[in-house]
Structure 1
Amino acid sequence: MKRLHIIQVISNFPNAQKLPPTNQGGTEKVVYELTENLVKRGHHVTVFAARGSRTSANLKPFPKGLRGKGIAKYVIGNLPRHVDVIHDHTFDSALGKLNLRIPTVCTLHLPVKHRVKHPVYVSKRAKQVMGKNRGDYVYNGINPSEYEFSSKKRNYMAFMGRILPEKGVLQAIEIAEKTNKKLIIAGPIKDKEWFRRVLAPRIRRNPNIHFVGPIGGQKKQKLLKNAHCVLFPSLWEEPFGLVMIEAMACGTPVIALNRGAVPEVMAGFPQLICRSIPEMVAKVQQGNFPNPHVLRRYVIRRFTTSRMTQRYESIYRRVMKK
């Protein structure tokens, strides 16, 4: 098989994270893993990413303060010779919209409707809703060896994600209040005013609820692997939901609201998918969860970086033929 020269572009300004990300940045994590795997498979990869990134690929750091069209302009002006394919991960599909002569694959990590030639969504649901069934879908993958496993659980629930109304953090608090269980909330505050006005008073009132902010590394591992369960009461059209597979890789069950890609990601455990918050409360109270080893095996079978990389490789080769 011919080795390819692949360009990866990740630049979600103004909040671009370095590769690999530390405390947040699900998209950056996926792009980092994909890049490292493509290099391992012998491909020549150049990655355009935020300054300070670390990668086995050839790194082209973006200058500070680059926005919108400036991103595409910078990439085109700094392309190496003999590029086979560009993989655009920017949230506005900056390169995919330009109709370049180089085949350009665009992964749409957010639920957006961009008209690009070769769109790839991160779930079948996102492809149906956002792409009207046009294009491909590739599930996000993780490297299971990076996730610590524990079959022994402690007496707390966890919520991990961006602190925004649509992520369901208020609903997670409601579940903790109704079940009288301990809840640890982790993630970056993305709506400071809403947090101060709505969330902080609820957290202060309940000694069972703890907010620890954005976490990564060992802290994240400990939180996920020791949790009795992870709550995923997402209220929006979630395109994937990386924390679900991260938790299950640690052997931790996820109780999720039936929104967006949840039925696909949690397909092996339909008993953990709920139609309402009261149903999530009942599931927590019952505490009848799958075996931690079964949860981890499920992730290894369906959501690994190597599976994700193979899928992207076949898409690259197909668009090059076209």
Structure 2
Amino acid sequence: MASKPSRALDNRPLTIVQVISNYPNAQPVPSIKGGTEKIVHELTEELVRRGHHVSLFAARGSRSSAQLITYPKGLTHSQIPQYVLQHMPSGTDIIHDHTFRSAMGRRKLPCPSVCTVHLPVKRHGKNPVYVSKRARQLMGGGKGFYIYNGINTHEYEFSSEKRGYLLFMGRIIPDKGVLQAIQVAERTGKKLLIAGPIKAPVFFRREIQTRIQRNPNIRYVGSVGGDRKQKLLKHAECLLFPSLWEEPFGLVMVEAMACGTPVLALKNGSVSEVLSGFPQLICKSVGEMARKAHRKNYPSPAQLRLYVNQRFTNKQMTSNYLRLYREIIRRREQKRGQRKSVRR
């Protein structure tokens, strides 16, 4: 069992560097579309609110309450570590690497680091943090840490008024299950709105567009963010999450429930964890999802909002990261102390 951090470390404000990817792999922070950018923004803002000294390295166009250091034009992913090391504050306690290939955490650094693995990649840095237990099991072989993503529920509009449509929200690719969402709509005869960027145009044209043209109850509304996204989420009868792959987290499930909207999801990836409080919403097949969508035996909107407030907020996420930061710093100090003792 790990020993308890010293009281001085436990109480003092930390100097923390947050690093996110640069273009073309990342959006500015905050982003109305990028999930990783949203999480980094929520974490950074809450750390600042708690009195910590935070520097954020992010793409141009970003905004933050932290000390914001934007990347120069043309900076590549491989150049991020050197740029951060040249511009980060002296006395930095810890670097939090959010880059998609752990650009910082795989380098030798003057201070400890943690690396959140937002996407399913195999090359991780030191102290990897996964966004679910399932992700840690699959990508980390059970090693490392896991901390759930969290949102600021005050930024999500709650509504108990629903307007009788099913909603699919996500990238339009086969693995996200958009075709399976259409199958649910076809089996139930319900209206389905599909929202998200088309990332597989051939798949969309051959498999999705033809079905939309045949069924007046199914409509593609494009890529959405901001107020439009909020309205779609809060008024949906149900969000369909028929993901076919091992989704590390699935932030849209939490966003929907924060708006008071139930989620029906296939039992893949983190679904069993995110919906652990509502196992009746987890489905083993498209047929079961269609049957449950037809019956509409959902938790109340208030129950769903409360559930998110109890488990998936930015405050809980930040507290968990702070505990991890302090533990990693304590371990580093302990090792240094041991090396000094050996030299004597």
Q: 1:172 aligns with which of 164, 181, 187?
A: 181
Q: 1:100 aligns with which of 98, 105, 109?
A: 109
Paired residue type of 1:145: H
Q: Give the distance between the partners of 2:181 and 2:257, measured in 1 at CA.
A: 18
Q: Give the distance between the partners of 1:255 and 1:150, measured in 2 at CA.
A: 18
Q: 2:61 aligns with which of 48, 52, 64?
A: 52
Q: 1:261 aligns with which of 242, 264, 270?
A: 270
Classify 1:169/1:78 alpha carbon distance in 2 versus 1 (closer, same or farther; 3 Å): same
What residue in structure 2 maps to residue 3 of structure 1?
Answer: 13
Give 1:167 deviation, angstroms.
0.5
> Is the deviation greater in 179-188 or in 65-74?
65-74
Secondary structure of the residue that 1:154 maps to in structure 2? coil
Q: Give the distance between the partners of 1:311 and 1:106, measured in 2 at CA.
A: 14
Secondary structure of the residue that 2:106 maps to in structure 1? helix
**Residue 26 (1) aligns with residue 35 (2):** yes
Cα contact 1:99–1:117 (8 A) shared by 2: no
- Residues 53-104 of structure 1, C-alpha deviation per residue, up to 9 Å, x if partnerless? 1110111111223223112222122222111100000010000111323101
What residue in structure 2 maps to residue 15 of structure 1?
Answer: 25
Q: Give the distance between the partners of 1:77 and 1:35, measured in 2 at CA.
A: 21
**Residue 223 (1) aligns with residue 232 (2):** yes
Cα contact 1:71–1:94 (8 A) shared by 2: yes
- Residues 142-180 of structure 1, C-alpha deviation per residue, up to 9 Å, x if partnerless? 011111111121110001111111000111111111111
What residue in structure 1 maps to residue 89 of structure 2?
Answer: 80
Q: Give the distance between the partners of 1:38 and 1:245, measured in 2 at CA.
A: 21
Paired residue type of 2:96: H
Q: 1:134 aligns with which of 124, 143, 151?
A: 143
Q: Give the distance between the partners of 2:81 and 2:318, measured in 1 at CA.
A: 24
Classify 1:55/1:115 alpha carbon distance in 2 versus 1 (closer, same or farther; 3 Å): closer
Q: Give the distance between the partners of 1:136 and 1:302, measured in 2 at CA.
A: 17
Higher radius of gyration, 1 or 2: 2
Classify 1:175/1:311 alpha carbon distance in 2 versus 1 (closer, same or farther; 3 Å): same
**Residue 279 (1) aligns with residue 288 (2):** yes
Q: Give the distance between the partners of 2:206 and 2:41, measured in 1 at CA.
A: 36
Alignment of structure 1 residues 170-249 onto 2, 5 Å: 170-249=179-258
Q: Give the distance between the partners of 1:317 and 1:88, measured in 2 at CA.
A: 16
TM-score (norm 2): 0.91
Give 1:18 deviation, angstroms.
1.0
Cα contact 2:55–2:66 (8 A) shared by 1: yes
Secondary structure of the residue that 1:204 maps to in structure 2? helix
- Residues 158-208 of structure 1, C-alpha deviation per residue, up to 9 Å, x if partnerless? 011111110001111111111111111111111222222322222222111
Q: 1:319 aligns with which of 308, 328, 333?
A: 328
What residue in structure 1 maps to residue 134 of structure 2?
Answer: 125
Cα contact 2:242–2:266 (8 A) shared by 1: yes
Give 1:132 deviation, angstroms.
1.1
Cα contact 1:147–1:250 (8 A) shared by 2: yes
Cα contact 2:104–2:125 (8 A) shared by 1: no
Give 1:2 deviation, angstroms.
0.8
**Residue 64 (1) aligns with residue 69 (2):** no
Give 1:12 deviation, angstroms.
5.3
**Stretches of 4+ aligned residues off by more than 6 angstroms:** none
Paired residue type of 2:19: V
Q: Give the distance between the partners of 1:12 and 1:280, measured in 2 at CA.
A: 39
Q: Give the distance between the partners of 1:155 and 1:81, measured in 2 at CA.
A: 56
TM-score (norm 1): 0.97
Give 1:129 deviation, angstroms.
1.1
Paired residue type of 2:16: I
RMSD: 1.1
Paired residues in the alignment total: 321
Paired residue type of 1:37: E
